[in-house]
Structure 1
Amino acid sequence: MIVPEFWAEGRIKARLDDRQVTVRRFGWSDISQEEAQAHADERAKAALKEIAAGEMVEKYEPKMAYNGAEGVPIREEILARHGEAVITRNLYGARCLNTPDVLFADVDFGQSVPLKLSCSVYLTLVAVATALGLWQGSIKVTVISLLIALVVGSPLALLLFRLYEKATGGPRERAHQRIHQFSRQHPDWHLRVYETPKGLRVLVMHTTFGARDEVVQHFFEALDADPIYVRMCRNQHCFRARLSPKPWRIGIREHIRPRPGYWPVKPEHLPARHRWIAAYEAKAQGYAACRFLERLGSSHVHPTADALRIIHDELCQANTTLKLA
């Protein structure tokens, strides 16, 4: 996991096969702006060399905050460091905890009809419509049946999904069951379970992990963790937990300034950014990012995980009755 203090962009131009080519690459450093610039220039030269050799390489590197891109670290404002863990401000202004070895998992509750179910319903209706048309020996009947299938497919899929949700206790109950099942199968694991506005968060306490460890991937799969979160963990070599509310959930409609809030920000934009942050932080105090629910499994606690648990619970206001956001 790398969360640099300094960022720079390197540009290099050259003529390749009678055409002008411009390559841009970012560089970073924890030492100085000059070192970040040197790193950016070095990466730009390396990319140009690859292009000259005929390799398929992007000329411009997109500016992303926490996009999971291979080879580019987390590009967010650093607010605090706690050992190897780093607290940053993300693209939309919330505070986030980034850790290379303390395992968090996000389990979101799916509210929409699964794509697999929708496809199954539509394919079944199309098959029935086609069979009906063939049985009647009429193209007109086939066309009308197919149109009806297209119209009723989505409502039918929604109805089936709601019936399934009711029969299984809903996504929250299924998520709890998956976590409890994992705990029963791995009694040596110490799990802390938190409620989030639209899901659950699990913090693993008994030991530390690497984001690409095979056991971590098994853990994510068993819990059906958010696939975007899983991909980000692998690509950024870290685990992550949001510590403060999402702005739109606490009534802040205006986006962080400047928009988008990529870091670093030009000096002329800092006053507007600071005003937005002050308003956000004042309002965020009345909300919790998650709420502690239960502890499962072993009572063994790794000191690194416990130190981060204290920070996480305090900054998330996880032991309060504040509204989740």
Structure 2
Amino acid sequence: MIVPEYWAEARHEVRYNRRRLIVRRFGWSDDSVAAAQAHADARALEALHAIAAGQPLPHQERRTRYGVEGVPIREQIVERQGDVVITRNSYGALCLNTPDVLFADIDHRPGPAGCVIPTLLACVLWAGVAIAAGNVWNWMAGLALGSAVLVAVNAVVLAFKRANHRDAQLEARALARVEDFTRQHPGWHLRAYRTPAGLRLLAMHATFSAHDPAVQGLFDALQTDKLYARMCRVQHCFRARLTPKPWRIGMRRRIRPPVAAWSAEQAFLPGRLQWIADYEHKAQGHAACLFLRAFGDERRVDAKAEAVRALHDRIARAYEPLPLG
């Protein structure tokens, strides 16, 4: 796992087969911007020569949430504790990154859009104001409108009840898979946490490489989120979000810079610092996950996994009776 402090990008251009060949590559370093630029220059020249020799390589590397093969995680480093790194991700939440303490994410289903209830309430309010102001033609029209609003409210409430019931069923099935897994692997000790979208698992009995076949076996058996599993393989690490997603706690503005464009000089931009202050204030009323229960042999606890657990549980507020964000 590599989470660098400094980033740079290099651009190299040559004339090749009567056309212009342009190659861009990122570089990174924990020492300085100059070292990151030197690394970028070296990678760009290497790629330029390889492409000119006929290798099918991309001319430019994309900036993505979890990076691509050969490019590490590009996020602001907030704290280091040994080889555990806490970063601020592309949308502003804190994430724990560890090279060998196994986390797994299980997503049940996409959650309902956050605008459903506010939009419905706005419609009800508008209807009430319209009726009070005499903007309906007669009492029959008012009655019809009121009936329609009542039907809409009941439909949305019923939909949410059904969604909650489905969530409970999906969680029960996912927990049953975890229990079955630990029954088949008696040496394992797993902790399960509820997240807004599903479950998070933490292995306590040992540490693992992200490429360990046992990790893939766990991912397959428990139906781990495929994007998360790919990130683990590409970045040689495991990851857990520690603070709420901004849009779940009412943050309408996005952090700057957006997407995966982080560079060290942006750390003290006034707009970014104000966004972080607003986010941290609103995040106080939410937890990132809720501890549910442990599975397997609880006597088996790896010392490093325990240290990561303590850090994770404290910042994610996993034992506090708070809404999940």
1:119 aligned residue: none
For residue 106 of structure 2, give the secondary structure of its aligned residue in structure 1. Answer: strand
Quick check: 1:258–1:272 contact (8 Å CA) kept in 2? no
The percentage of counterpart residues that share the same residue type is: 55
**Distance in 1 between residues matched to 2:316 and 2:271, nearest whole Å:** 25
3-state SS of paired residue (1:287): coil
State the alpha-carbon separation in 2 of the partners of residues 101 and 65 from structure 1.
Answer: 20
1:45-194 to 2 correspondences below 5 Å: 45-67=45-67, 69-110=68-109, 170-194=169-193
Name the aligned partner's letter for residue 49 of structure 1: H
Contact kept, 8 Å, 1:192 with 1:203, in 2: the verdict is: yes
Report if aligned partners of 2:74, 2:260 keep a CA contact under 8 Å in 1.
no
Tell me, what secondary structure is at the counterpart of 1:216?
helix
Q: Aligned partners of 1:267, 1:177: CA distance in 2, in Å? A: 45
Paired residues of 1:65 and 1:263 also in contact (CA < 8 A): no
Name the CA distance, whole Å, in 1 between partners of 2:215 and 2:49: 37
Residue 251 of structure 1 corresponds to which residue in structure 2? 250
- Give the equivalent residue in structure 1 for 2:281: 282
Q: Deviations over 1:220-252 (max 9, x none)?
A: 111101111001101110000000000000011
Instruction: Indicate the residue corresponding to 1:118 in structure 2.
Output: none
Deviation at 1:187, TM superposition (A): 1.8
State the Cα RMSD in Å. Answer: 2.1
Encode CA deviations 1:153-206: one digit per residue, 9 max, x unaligned: xxxxxxxxxx9x989973112111111111111121111111111101110001
Q: Provide structure 1 residue ranges, at least 5 long, that are not aligned to the other structure.
A: 113-162
State how 1:190-229 maps to structure 2 within 5 Å.
190-229=189-228
Letter in 2 for 1:314: R
Looking at structure 2, the residues matched to 185 and 268 of structure 1 have their Cα atoms a distance apart, in angstroms, of: 47
What is the letter of the counterpart of residue 36 of structure 2?
A: A
Q: Mapping of 1:244-323 within 5 angstroms? A: 244-260=243-259, 262-264=261-263, 266-267=265-266, 270-298=269-297, 299-323=299-323
Distance 2:264 2:77 in 1: 13
**Residue 183 and residue 264 in structure 1: after superposition, are their counterparts in 2 closer, same or farther (change >3 A)?**
same
- Distance in 2 of aligned mates of 1:58 and 1:168: 42
- The answer as to whether partners of 1:258 and 1:269 remain within 8 angstroms in 2 is no
Letter in 2 for 1:27: G
SS across alignment from 2:269: helix
5 Å-filtered alignment, 1:9-28, equals 9-28=9-28
Deviations 1:52-87 (CA, angstroms, capped at 9, x unpaired): 1112221111123423x1100000000001111100
Question: Residues 76-131 of structure 1: CA distance to partner in whole angstroms, max 9, x if unpaired?
Answer: 0000011111000001000000000000001110359xxxxxxxxxxxxxxxxxxx
Rounded Cα–Cα distance in structure 1 between residues aligned with 2:190 and 2:244: 23
**Partner Cα distance (1:243, 1:324) in 2:** 11
Distance in 1, matches of 2:267 and 2:226, equals 38
**Is the 2:64–2:260 Cα contact (8 Å) retained in structure 1?**
no
Counterpart-to-counterpart distance in 1, 2:232 and 2:260:
21
Question: Distance in 2 between the 1:86 and 1:271 partners?
Answer: 24
Give the whole-Å Cα distance in 2 for the aligned partners of 1:9 and 1:63.
Answer: 11
Q: Is the 8 A contact 1:190 1:204 kept in 2?
A: yes
In structure 2, distance between residues paired with 1:220 and 1:273? 36
> Is the CA contact 2:76–2:264 (under 8 Å) kept in the aligned structure 1?
no
1:319 is aligned with what amino acid? Y
Q: Which moved more, 1:235-244 or 1:255-264?
A: 255-264
CA distance in 2, matches of 1:81, 1:221: 31
Distance 1:104-1:166 versus aligned 2 partners, 3 A rule: same
What is the CA-CA distance between 1:269 and the residue it aligns to?
7.8
Is the contact made by 1:189 and 1:206 (CA closer than 8 Å) also made in structure 2?
yes
Which residue of structure 1 lines up, in the alignment, with residue 142 of structure 2?
none
Distance 1:323 1:269, change over 3 A: same
Give 1:267 deviation, angstroms: 4.6
Residues 66 and 76, structure 1, Cα contact 8 Å, conserved in 2? no
Segments of 5+ residues of structure 2 without an aligned counterpart are 112-161
Give the match's secondary structure for 2:256: coil
Query: Is contact 2:105-2:198 (8 Å) kept?
Result: yes
TM-score, reference length from structure 2:
0.80
Aligned length: 273
